[in-house]
Amino acid sequence: MLRKFLRVKIKGAVVTEAKLYYEGSITLDKEIIEKSGLLPGEEVLVLNLNNGARFVTYVIEGEKNSGVVCLNGPAARLGYPGDELIILSFAYLNQDEIASHSPRLLVLDKNNRVVEVK
C-alpha cells in the first residue's frame, strides 16, 4: 500500500506576476526549483495566505535568480502580485520508505530568495 506524504514545502513565496492568458501553471525562479527538488511539469498544491485560495497546478521553470513567482492562466484569478503563498508537493511512499522520509522545507524572503533549506 502506498501513502501520500508531504515531500516539499515552500514557505513565504510572494506573487510577482499574474498572467491570465497562458495555458496555466506557476512559474518559479529556477533557484527555487533546484533547491526544492521540484521538476518542471511537476504537480504542486498552491495555498494563498491572502485570500484562502487553494489550487493544483504544475511548475514552469523561470529565469534563475529572477525571484519570479508568476501565476499563469486561470490561477491568475486566484492571486495577485504581493500575495503570499505556500507551495506544496507530495509523494507516494511505501511502508519501507515512510520511516526514513523527511520533507524538504524552503523558506523564502520577501524577494523570493531562498534563506533557509531544511
| Cell triple for 82 | 504581493
Active site residue 21: no
Q: How far apart are CA 3 and CA 41, in angstroms?
A: 22
CB contact set of 117 (below 8 Å; sequence gap of 6+): 35, 104, 105, 106, 107
Q: Which of 22, 58, 66, 80 is catalytic?
A: 58
Cβ atoms of residues 47 and 88 within 8 Å = yes
58 catalytic per annotation: yes
Q: Which of 21, 22, 25, 92 is catalytic?
A: 25
Work out whether the CA dihedral 45, 34, 12, 66 comes out positive or negative: negative
Q: Phi/psi at 78 (nearest 5 deg)?
A: -105, 5
What is the set of active-site residues? 25, 58
